[in-house]
Amino acid sequence: MSEMPSKEPITFERPSSLYENLSSRFQLQDRNFQRQYAHLYCERLLTMRKNIVAGAKRKWGSDVIIRKLFELKNNEKCCIVGTFYKHMELKPNILQEISEEHNLIPQPKKDKYVSDSDTLILEDELQRICLVGNINIQKACTGMVAAVLGEEKESGKFHVEDTCFMHLNQPAPFPTLEEDRYIFFISGLGLGQEGKNLMGLQLMVDLITGQLGSQEEQEKYSKVIRVILAGDGLSYDTQDKTVLNTAKYLSRKVQATTVEGVKELDDVLTQLVSNVPVDIMPGEFDPTNGILPQQPLHRCMFPQANIYKTLNCVTNPYDAKVDGFRILGTSGQAITDIYQYTTNENRLEILEETLKTGHIAPTAPDTLACYPFLKEDPFILPEIPHVYFAGNQSKFESKLWEDEAGRKCLLLTIPRFSQTQSGVMLNLRTMEASAVVFSSEFMQ
């Protein structure tokens, strides 16, 4: 059986790659929480308007009338540009909660907050107008900036004929590679959970680091040039809110619940990082700030893995260039949030929607917590990336998005590892992604 030469086993060299981190716009320079969020919407509209107007003219002809809301005339066909606001009856509302406090009617926690009575409103700098007609209200969500073509009727509502979103460029097409190069995506390791069988995770680590498998397998996995850990290294179980409600003198000696999880994560990372570059993005349950953009986990938390330069703590959202491929993604909060506020069931479609509208997290700051930016909205897509992913989704899906202009983008939803035991292996040469599922129990 021993076909392998026992004397000199072959080892494979992991190829190096060009890497550039483009996430600097997600790094918070100052921490000023005094501001209101109006600036963010204003900035978003101002920034995106120019592009959208250009797109509208391209789409509907250069002679299309573009009006501000106060210039609207009844029954005149024109184009208006503004930010969507979706009025939703079921949307959790703190004011409502307070007002109903006396009646003790808790607002139900729902998977989705959509209802048939939802209305879509378009706001520009000064005014708002209700949108009806040819527009899918249920698939739109608050915060998207768009141009709509139509006319205002006597009812005061704007009857939409067509919609146009931002048009983004893609500076460079997919780079062509001679050889296979892989990027391995994982998310939602969910460490720190008691009684969790980590065999699947260990198999993944061993596979990527070249322990498992035949030589052919090892050769393949030696071409994994990067591992991207897209958030939620720690489990939801580590979120112990009771600490917040107990007096400090009672909880002073209580160890934070995340500590064990972080230690486990450190072990896992150390094994990976000593063999392959790893980008670790923070997620919803990770010990960093909870609002977008999440700042990098401090590498001090990983005293063992920190020894290696290949440990790369990055922001969420994360934007980087690997071997010429522009890779952009989030840990999934934005997608999950939109999922709750639209009828769209398919996470990949939601992801695609955000790509089309040119904004990573439109529902921030409405239903998704985000930093009150003043002069910028870093969530506006600067260009069409080559790979656009969202972590912590329910299942793996991929789609090569392509439009008539020749722009291409590979969309990926990365499933939670803790639930699906799977990671995603992306071959940059062929732009094909496939799920790799690890069985933590004996397979039968």
Partner 1 sequence: MAGDLALENIEEFLFDEDRVVSYKWLSKTLSMHVNQAKSKLEEFAENWREKPGSKPITLTFFVSGIQETTSGSELTRVAIVKEEDLENVKKNLKKTLCEHIYSIQKSALKDTAVLYQTDFDETKQHLSECNKYSAIKCKSVQTRSSDSLVPVVSSVPNGRASPAEETKEKVGSSKATTVPEKKKGLAAFVKQHKPQDKNETKQTKVSPVNEKKPSSTAKKGSLMHAFQSSKKSSPKSQTVAKEDTESPKAEKEGKKEDHSQEDGKTDEKKVPSPTKEDEAKSKESAVQKMDKKESVEKKKEITSSKKSSKRDMPDSDSESESKAKQHKGTKRRRVIQEESSSEEEESDREMLEEEEEEMEMDDTPIPPTPEIKSKGKQEEESVSPSTQEGNTDEGKKGRKKVWKKKRYVDDDGCMVTHRVFEYESGEGSDDEKETEGSSEKTSPSTKKDQSPKDQSTSASPSTDNNSKKESPPSSGRKQTALTSFFKKR
Cβ neighbourhood burial of 263 (10 Å; 0-12, 13-18, 19+):
middle
Shortest Å distance, C-beta 16 to partner 1: 5
Contact call for residues 20 and 321 (beta carbons, < 8 A): yes
| CA 342 to chain CA mean position, Å | 16
The correct pick among 65, 243, 307, 405 for binding partner 1 (CB under 8 A) is 307
What DSSP state is assigned to residue 257? T
For the chain, how many residues are written? Answer: 444
Sign of CA dihedral 284, 333, 191, 322: negative
The residue range among 122-130, 131-139, 264-272, 346-354 that interacts with partner 1, by the rule CB under 8 A, is: 264-272
Contact call for residues 335 and 368 (beta carbons, < 8 A): no
How many binding residues for partner 1 (CB under 8 A)?
A: 63
C-alpha 32/C-alpha 371 separation (Å) is: 9
HEC-encoded secondary structure of 132-179: EECCCCCCCCCCCEEEEEEEECCCCCEEEEEEECCCCCCCCCCCCCCC
The correct pick among 123, 161, 267, 383 for binding partner 1 (CB under 8 A) is 267
Site string (345-374) toward partner 1, x via CB under 8 A:
------------------------------
Asked if residue 274 binds partner 1 (CB under 8 A), the reply is: yes
Asked if residue 437 binds partner 1 (CB under 8 A), the reply is: yes
Question: Cβ closer to partner 1: 342 or 422?
Answer: 422
User: Which residues from 20-79 bind partner 1, rule CB under 8 A?
Assistant: none
C-alpha 240/C-alpha 376 separation (Å) is: 34
The correct pick among 82, 210, 296, 317 for binding partner 1 (CB under 8 A) is 210
Shortest Å distance, C-beta 306 to partner 1: 6
Asked if residue 88 binds partner 1 (CB under 8 A), the reply is: no
Question: Cβ closer to partner 1: 107 or 202?
Answer: 202
Asked if residue 387 binds partner 1 (CB under 8 A), the reply is: no
Question: Cβ closer to partner 1: 340 or 440?
Answer: 440
User: Which residues from 394-433 bind partner 1, rule CB under 8 A?
Assistant: 396, 422, 425
Asked if residue 221 binds partner 1 (CB under 8 A), the reply is: yes
What DSSP state is assigned to residue 428? T
Name which of 390, 396, 416, 412 is nearest 330 in CA terms: 390
Q: What are phi and psi of 86, to 5 degrees?
A: -100, 115
Asked if residue 320 binds partner 1 (CB under 8 A), the reply is: no
The correct pick among 173, 303, 400, 419 for binding partner 1 (CB under 8 A) is 303
The residue range among 186-194, 200-208, 240-248, 353-361 that interacts with partner 1, by the rule CB under 8 A, is: 200-208
The correct pick among 273, 381, 409, 414 for binding partner 1 (CB under 8 A) is 273
| CA 316 to chain CA mean position, Å | 8
Asked if residue 199 binds partner 1 (CB under 8 A), the reply is: yes
Q: If DSSP codes are grouped into helix, strand and coil, which group holds residue 182?
A: strand
Q: Name residues whose C-beta falls within 8 Å of residue 64's C-beta, 6 or more positions apart in sequence.
A: 56, 57, 78, 79, 149
Shortest Å distance, C-beta 204 to partner 1: 8
Name which of 230, 401, 227 is nearest 332 in CA terms: 230
C-alpha 415/C-alpha 425 separation (Å) is: 12
What DSSP state is assigned to residue 203? H
Asked if residue 235 binds partner 1 (CB under 8 A), the reply is: no
The residue range among 20-28, 40-48, 67-75, 303-311 that interacts with partner 1, by the rule CB under 8 A, is: 303-311
Contact call for residues 176 and 433 (beta carbons, < 8 A): no
The residue range among 81-89, 109-117, 216-224, 351-359 that interacts with partner 1, by the rule CB under 8 A, is: 216-224
Site residues for partner 1 per CB under 8 A: 1-4, 6, 9-14, 16, 197-199, 202-204, 206-207, 209-218, 221-222, 267, 270-271, 273-277, 299-300, 303-304, 306-310, 396, 422, 425, 434-444
